[in-house]
Structure 1
Amino acid sequence: MKGARKRILLVASHGGHWVQMRRLAAAFAELEVHYVCTSSDVAAEVAPAPLSVVPDANLKQKAALIPLAIKTLWVVLRTRPHFVLSTGAAPGFFALLFGKLLGAKTIWVDSLANAETAIRLRRQGPTVCRSLVNTVGASGRARRPPLSRGCTMIFVTVGTQLPFERLVQAVDNWAARHPGEDVFIQLGQTTYAPTHCRSVAYTPQAEWERLFQQAERVVSHAGMGTILKSLDYGKPLLMMPRLAVYREHRNDHQVATAKQFGHFGNIRVVNDEQALGEALAEPLHRFAATDTPEGKAFSTLLNELKQFVQNHS
């Protein structure tokens, strides 16, 4: 590139969207990167790159969308990015909208989960959609991390944006029948109050990472952030997908995500309380550490992003 480096705004809400977006940052080493997230906990992770923090919001918090839109517009006006990339959620929607209106090239990466159709690049101008598969792994290198041993704590995490009463109550019922087990639940917006487990609504990112790494096994919704972390650490993961019929999410995309990753040796998909109990009773040695994919498609995605930036610089 000639002259000053081009600027890119990388935008994601905290959690799974953020984890996926960070995996794409390697494609923009030649750009001046500015991050936008809904949590200041990630500041140390991205330093020395600048981070702007915006409010979180979703369609169930419509009033919060207004301050989110205003703050996001201010960030876009202040940074004047040449490119805007998001991996989804409301902050990304507003950043892409305002960025496009101000002349930036915009890129939306929908998911790193769904093979065949779900991973798409949507670029300003003619829409370009390309299916990419097996885009798992922080760097695209195959690796086999050891399964954790020696800690008996079970860590349950349901994300930060939506409650998951069914999963939390199922775990609490299981803990009542197994009083010797140490279970710690990150509740998020769940209103059910466990009486047989330790619990907290939210934890700082560093504490969440510590609990995740120390746990003997992890129980979660089918969120991409948790799935990718479980593959990174070779952690036994029991995931219960949220179902739209119970109003646990806006659609059944977590069912598709669970189907995509259910074949990994360290992952079990459970759909009800009985299946959860059976999976928790399964011996740890049955949760075989799985090689993450070689990452050919992930490398292709990074190259696509690099090429897009070069073609518009």
Structure 2
Amino acid sequence: MSREPSFHDLAPSGARVLWVASSGGHLTELTRIARTTSADEQSDWVTFDTPQTRGALQGQRCHFVDYIAPRDLRRAVKASSWAIRHLRREKYDVCISTGAALAVSVLPVAAAYGCNAIYVESISRVDGPSLTGRILRATPRVRTYTQHAAWSSSSWKWSGSILDGWVAEPRARAKRSRRVFVTLGTIQPYRFDRIVDAVLSVIEPGDEVVWQLGSTVRADLPGKVLREVSQDEFRRLAAESDVTVTHAGVGSILELLDLGLVPVLAVRSSGFDEHVDDHQRQIADEMVRRGLAFELDLEAPSGETFERACSFEALAVGANDHRRSGTSAGHNTFRGE
């Protein structure tokens, strides 16, 4: 039986929290953890300045630092210097982060200044901690948590998983041409041409396609092509689609589950220079195991994967209203209005 994660215990009621996360899936996870707490309204957020972060944190107290690419030591040190200056001026009860590089820059500084420093490993790390997690586990006065009971220990406490909040159920779909939304995320500088080629091989005549490509630049695509989209636009495009195909990034996955969508996942591989490592394989396998996603085989893609995804929806555990959220009236990109 699934249960709701109990992250609310990480921040005592009324605590002033410094929430720290890189953009993308790390921030998406952290915002969901924050919702379970009763932190002080004067709590602050530290992240990168992107359309996604501005949309997700609208109305919150935010501090933006320069983007830190994977293994970017120079900018990581620069962010640490910012943290030192900031924590000399501001006082917090707790500093909580879900990664990635930004966690290594800020959490040790927060711990040194007397904050209760907490690192929650990403749900994408099914088999064990990331490099960030291993570094922070060895950092004095930083407490570490996992979202997977299988590798919890006295060093890595388990408080449940964000994924415990959904189940998948069959749904009916009207027979018509499909609306397909393909999203590759925004991680730089990694291209992901294999997902584009796989989708091109299985879309059918009459399918309406919208592509969000990030760092993957292509001039051979049918439909509408976008480089980046805001969080609101992402949610609208996904909610209007019959099937959403996404790289196996945690941020995209959680947004789609929120919308009631069971996504089609394509896994980035470090062997094809599509990511810094192969952690997307872990989260994709976990999503498929839970029945919350289908995987598109990039070596032998099949249109049947799209049809299966169209036939299921994700339901919030214990929710009374299972209808999709995030749709907006008016302009419809798939209709070209």
Decide: shared fold, TM above 0.5.
yes
Q: Tell whether the 8 Å contact from 1:145 to 1:233 is kept in structure 2 after alignment.
A: no
Query: 1:271 aligns to what?
Result: 297
Structure with the bigger percentage of helix: 1
Residue deviations 1:76-110 (CA, integer Å, cap 9, x gap): 44433232111112222211122123222211111
Report the equivalent of 2:108: 97
Alpha-carbon distance change, 129 to 73 in structure 1, aligned in 2, over 3 angstroms: same
Summarize the Cα distance change of 1:291–1:44 in structure 2 as closer, same or farther, 3 Å threshold.
Answer: closer
Answer yes or no: is the 8 Å Cα contact 1:222–1:254 preserved in 2.
yes
- The Cα shift of 1:241 comes to 1.3
User: What's the CA shift for 1:260?
Assistant: 0.7
Q: What does residue 303 of structure 1 align with?
A: none
Deviations 1:253-292 (A, max 9, x none): 1111111110344521123152254423x2566x323445
Q: Deviations over 1:217-258 (max 9, x none)?
A: 111111112222222222131101112222222222111111
- Give the structure 2 partner of residue 20 of structure 1: 29
What is the deviation of 1:52?
Answer: 1.2
From the superposition, tell whether residues 204 and 72 of structure 1 become closer, same or farther in structure 2 (CA, over 3 Å): farther
In structure 2, the CA distance between the partners of 1:144 and 1:236, relative to structure 1 (3 Å rule), is closer
Deviations 1:184-230 (A, max 9, x none): 11111124444334212111222112112111111111111222222
The one of 5, 13, 20 equivalent to 1:11 is 20
Could you tell me whether the CA contact under 8 Å between 2:263 and 2:309 is conserved in 1? no
Match 2:313 to one of 289, 294, 305: 289
Which whole-Å CA distance do the structure 2 matches of 1:141 and 1:268 have between them? Answer: 15
SS in structure 1 of the partner of residue 45 of structure 2: strand
AA aligned opposite 1:17: H
Q: Percent identity?
A: 25
Q: Which residue pairs with 1:52 in the alignment?
A: 63
Q: 1:203 aligns with which of 201, 225, 229?
A: 229
Could you tell me how far 1:154 is from its partner in structure 2?
A: 0.9
CA distance in 2, matches of 1:229, 1:17: 12
Q: Does the CA contact (< 8 Å) of 1:116 and 1:133 recur in 2?
A: no
| Contact in 2 for aligned 1:221/1:242 (Cα 8 Å) | yes
Partner of 1:185: 211
- Contact 1:237/1:268, CA 8 A, preserved across alignment: yes
Q: Which amino acid aligns with 2:70?
A: L
Counterpart in 2 of 1:37?
47
**What is the root-mean-square deviation of aligned Cα atoms in Å?**
3.5
CA contact under 8 A between 2:30 and 2:98: conserved in structure 1? Answer: yes
What is the aligned partner in structure 1 of residue 327 from structure 2? none
- The residue aligned with 1:163 is 191
Tell me, yes or no, if the aligned pair for 1:151 and 1:214 is still in contact at 8 Å: no
Are positions 1:86 and 2:97 aligned together? Answer: yes
Which is richer in strand? 2
2:212, 2:98 → 1: CA distance?
23
CA distance in 1, matches of 2:85, 2:300: 49
* In structure 1, C-alpha distance between the alignment counterparts of 2:292 and 2:15, rounded to whole Å: 41
The 10-residue stretch of structure 1 (263-272 or 58-67) with the greater mean CA deviation from structure 2 = 58-67
Give the secondary-structure state (helix, strand or coil) at the position aligned to 2:19: strand
Count of residues paired in the alignment: 286
Q: Quote the residue 2:254 is aligned against.
A: 228
Q: Distance in 1 between matches of 2:173 and 2:255?
A: 13
Deviations 1:33-87 (A, max 9, x none): 2112213544464454311122212136555445444444444444332321111
Q: Secondary structure at the match of 2:234?
A: helix
Cα deviation, 1:110-161, whole Å, max 9, x if unaligned, reads 1134557559895826763124554326xx4879797886883211111111
Counterparts of 1:186 and 1:169, CA distance in 2: 14
- The 2-side partners of 1:71 and 1:279 are apart by 46
Alpha-carbon separation, structure 2, partners of 1:141 and 1:221? 20
5+ residue gaps, structure 2: 1-13, 145-154, 320-337
Q: 1:48 to 1:72 in 2, by over 3 A?
A: same
Q: Distance in 2 between matches of 1:53 and 1:62?
A: 18
